Amino acid sequence: MPTKALKDILGHETWEMIEVYVKLAEEDIQQIYKTFSPADRLEMHNSPKGKRERARDWRQSRRRSNKSK
């Protein structure tokens, strides 16, 4: 949609209020994503901290050993 048409539809004379709407919409989208993100529901995000750290250490050690070959 052309920006001029958007401004006319919303009934504002300046862009400042439209920019406020855009910022609010972006914040809403970010909050919705954080709330309903499927990645946040994965078991790995809810596992004990030590388990994740051990897995990361193991991956890093594998990378180092592969580079040295």
Q: Domain tally for the chain? A: 2
Tell me, yes or no, whether 25 and 1 share the same domain: yes
Q: Vertex 24, ends 19 and 25: CA angle to 5°?
A: 95
Tell me, yes or no, whether 28 and 11 share the same domain: yes
The 3-state secondary structure of 23-60 reads HHHHHHHHHHHHHHCHHHHCHHHHCCHHHHHHHHHHHH
Tell me, yes or no, whether 32 and 1 share the same domain: yes
pTM: 0.44
Q: Is residue 10 scored above 80 in pLDDT?
A: yes
* pLDDT tens per residue across span 31-53: 888 788 777 666 655 556 677 78
Tell me, yes or no, whether 31 and 4 share the same domain: yes
Tell me, yes or no, whether 4 and 29 share the same domain: yes
**26: containing domain:** 1-36
3-class secondary-structure state, position 63: helix
